[in-house]
Amino acid sequence: MTRRNGFALLISLVGTGGLLVVLILYAGTADALPVLAASFLERSIADAATVNVVSTVLLDYRAFDTLGEATVIFASVTGVSALFVGAHLTPKSRGAGILVERAIGYLAAFFWLFPVYIVLFGHLSPGGGFQGGVALAVLIILLNVVYGTERGSTVMTTHRLHLFEDAGALAFLLIGAVGIVQGSAFLANLAAGFPGGSPGSLLSAGAIPLLNLAIGIKVASGLATIFYEFLSTWSTTGSESTE
Q: What pLDDT, on a 0 to 100 scale, did the predictor assign at position 117?
A: 95
Tell me, yes or no, whether 17 lies in a domain. Answer: no
Number of domains in the chain: 1
Tell me, yes or no, whether 54 lies in a domain. Answer: yes
Contact predicate 74/169, CB 8 Å: yes
What is the mean predicted confidence (pLDDT) over 171-198? 92
**What pTM, to 2 d.p., does this model score?**
0.78
Tell me, yes or no, whether 180 lies in a domain. Answer: yes
Of 181, 183, 176, residue with least CA distance to 59: 176
Question: Alpha-carbon dihedral of residues 154, 223, 211, 47, nearest 10 degrees?
Answer: 150
Q: What pLDDT, on a 0 to 100 scale, did the predictor assign at position 231?
A: 82
Tell me, yes or no, whether 19 lies in a domain. Answer: no
Which of 71-85, 107-121, 181-195 has the lowest average pLDDT?
71-85
Tell me, yes or no, whether 208 lies in a domain. Answer: yes
Q: What pLDDT, on a 0 to 100 scale, did the predictor assign at position 180?
A: 92
Tell me, yes or no, whether 178 lies in a domain. Answer: yes
Confidence of residue 129 (pLDDT cuts 50, 70, 90): very high
Q: What pLDDT, on a 0 to 100 scale, did the predictor assign at position 156?
A: 79
Residue 235 confidence (pLDDT) above 50: no
Residue 234 confidence (pLDDT) above 70: no
What is the mean predicted confidence (pLDDT) over 136-140? 91
Give the count of beta carbons closer than 10 Å to the beta carbon of residue 229.
Answer: 20
Tell me, yes or no, whether 21 lies in a domain. Answer: no
Tell me, yes or no, whether 22 lies in a domain. Answer: no
Q: How far apart are CA 204 and CA 193, in angstroms?
A: 13
Side chain identity at residue 203, one-letter code? L
**HEC readout, the chain:** CCHHHHHHHHHHHHHHHHHHHHHHHHHCCCCCCCHHHHHHHHHHHHHHCCCCHHHHHHHHHCHHHHHHHHHHHHHHHHHHHHHCCCEECCCCCCCCCHHHHHHHHHHHHHHHHHHHHHHHCCCCCCCCHHHHHHHHHHHHHHHHHHHCHHHHHHHCCHHHHHHHHHHHHHHHHHHHHHHHHCCCCCCCCHHHCCCCECCCCCCECCCHHHHHHHHHHHHHHHHHHHHHHHHCEECHHHHHHHC
What is the mean predicted confidence (pLDDT) over 201-229? 93
What is the mean predicted confidence (pLDDT) over 24-38? 66
Q: What pLDDT, on a 0 to 100 scale, did the predictor assign at position 206?
A: 93
Angle 160-155-96 from CA coordinates, rounded to 5°: 130
Domain of residue 111, residue span:
33-242
Q: What is the pLDDT of residues 54-89, one digit of tens each?
A: 999 999 998 988 988 888 888 888 888 888 877 777
